[in-house]
Structure 1
C-alpha cells in the first residue's frame, strides 16, 4: 500500500499493519516528534514480533525491533518507546500478559487443596516420572538473568531439567546447595551456562564453575558456556552495546558488549534443546515415558475406584 492507504488503515483502526507497511511508514518518517502513524507502525511491529516469538522478555523485544530496523539502538528507545508502548498495549488488552516472560516469583504459598478428591485429581494431572533417574548423565541449564527464565522454561520443563538462575553473581549458599545436589547424584553432570558477553558476564561463569567444583568434592562436572560466545556475535548478527566503563572488570575488556537477550528467543531455545538432547539416551527416554503413561493410567483408575473422585 501507499502512504495514503496506510494512513487510512491506521485511522480506521481495523487491523495491524503488515511488515511491508510498517517499513513504508518508518522509511518515510521525518525527524522530530513521531506522528501517530509512526507510533501505530511501531505498535504493529511490537504486536507482530511478540506474537511470533512469545514468550519473550521486554529486552529481547527491544533487540528484535532494532534488528528489524524499526527503532534505533538507544536506551531512550528502550525505555521511552518499547517499555512505554508495550505497557500501554498490555493494559489495553492488545497483547496478552502471558506473551511477555517474567521470571519474578509473584507468590509464595504452600500447596493446599479443597479436599482429598481435589488433591488426588491434581496428582494425576501433574504426575511425571523422573526423566534423568535412569539416564547415564545428568543435565542442568544455568542462566544469568531471571527475566529470561520464562523463555527457556518450556524447554527445560519438557525434559525435566533444572533451570538454575544466578541473578548475576550467585550467593555462596546458592552454589553450595547446588553443589550438594550434584554430589548426591553420582553420575556425570553437564552444566550449560547462558549469560552476557561483558566484563562481569564472562566472569560470573568462571566463579560459578570454580565454586561448584570446590563444593561438590570429586563430582564429575563438565561446565560449558554456550551463550553468549564471541563467535555468536557475528554468526547471529547480534546487536552490541557499549561496555559499561563503571564495571570494575572493564579495563581489559573490549569496547563492545552483548547481552544474552540479543539472541533470538527461538535460537536460545534451540541452543538449550540441543544441549539437553545430545545427552539423552533415546531408548531409555522412551521406556521412561511408557512407564509414566502406564502409571498415570493406574493412578486414574485408583482415583476412580477410591470413590469416583476422578474429574471432580
Structure 2
C-alpha cells in the first residue's frame, strides 16, 4: 500500500490538477492498480487518506461538481477598488477575428481544463453529456448576435453516447442560430488518439442503443493525461489568438491593473489627508 500511495503521489504531483478518475487511469497505466472497479476504489480510498493525513494537498485534485453561490460584498469603496485592481481582466477577444468556446462533456473535468480557458478568456461550456435545450438556446442566442465566425471545440468520451452528444450539440446550435458561421470540431477523444497515446480502454456498453455499429472499444475523456488535455485546448485556442498577440494583450492588462492600483492609492491618500 505504501508503494502504491507513493506512486499515486508522484502521478498527481506531475499532472495536477487532476480528477480522481484521471488519477485512476494513470495508475492503471503505471501498473499500480488493476483496471477494475476494485482498482478505482483503491485509488479513491488512498487519495482520501492521503489528503486527510496531509500528504497530498487538497487543491491538487479537482472537483467541479460541487460549488457555492455567494454574492460578493465589501467593507468599503476602497476595498472594492482594491479587489477590482487585483482581479482586473482585459477582454482579450474584442478585436479578434473569431469567437471561441470550449465545450466539455464532464463537469468533473472542468477544474482540469479551466486554468487554460481562464488564462485565455475563453468560455468553458460544461454540457454534462447531452446539453439541455435551454442551455443550447442561450449559447445559440449569443452566437447568433456575433459578427465574427464562431469556433467550438468539443471534448467528450469516445463511446456511442459521448460521440452522439457532441453531434447533437452541433446540430442544435446550427438549428437555433441558422445565420451564424459555426465551425465545430471534436478535439477528443479520437480513435487516432487512442492508438497514438495508448489510452486505457473499456468495453463499449452494449446496452446503449447506439452501440450496434460503434465497435467494441470505448475510451473515457478522463483517460487522457491532464497535461495533454490542457495542451489540446491551448493549441486550439492559439489558432485564433497567437502567443505574440496574447503577450501584448496581457502586458496591456498588467499596465491597466497598475493604473487601478494607483487610483486606489490616491483615494486612500485623499481619505487620510
Whether TM-score is above 0.5 comes out as: yes
Mapping of 1:8-87 within 5 angstroms? 39-79=1-41, 81-87=42-48
Q: Supply the distance in 1 between the matched residues of 2:268 and 2:255 (Cα, whole angstroms).
A: 21
Q: Supply the distance in 1 between the matched residues of 2:270 and 2:37 (Cα, whole angstroms).
A: 55
Equivalent residue, structure 1, for 2:88: 127
TM-score, normalised with respect to structure 2: 0.95
Larger radius of gyration between Structure 1 and Structure 2: 1
User: Which stretch has the larger CA shift, 169-178 or 240-249?
Assistant: 240-249
Relative contact order higher in (CA < 8 Å, ≥ 6 apart) = 2
Secondary structure of the corresponding residue to residue 203 of structure 1: helix
- The structural deviation recorded for 1:245 is 2.0
User: Which stretch has the larger CA shift, 291-300 or 126-135?
Assistant: 291-300
Q: Which runs of 4+ in 1 moved over 4 A?
A: 281-284
Contact kept, 8 Å, 1:135 with 1:284, in 2: the verdict is: no
Aligned residues: 271
C-alpha spacing 1:134/1:286, structure 2 compared with 1 (3 Å) = farther
TM-score, normalised with respect to structure 1: 0.83
Which consecutive residues of structure 1, in runs of 5 or more, have no partner in the other structure? Answer: 1-38
Equivalent residue, structure 1, for 2:147: 186
RMSD between superposed Cα atoms in Å? 1.6
Q: Does 1:175 align with 2:136?
A: yes
Q: Does 1:136 align with 2:136?
A: no
Mapping of 1:74-113 within 5 angstroms? 74-79=36-41, 81-113=42-74
Contact kept, 8 Å, 2:204 with 2:218, in 1: the verdict is: yes
Secondary structure of the corresponding residue to residue 70 of structure 1: coil
How big is each residue's C-alpha offset from its partner over 1:276-310, in whole Å with a ceiling of 9 and x where there is no partner?
01111556444433432332222112111122399
Secondary structure of the corresponding residue to residue 222 of structure 1: strand
C-alpha spacing 1:91/1:224, structure 2 compared with 1 (3 Å) = same
Q: 1:220 aligns with which of 156, 181, 191?
A: 181
Secondary structure of the corresponding residue to residue 185 of structure 1: coil
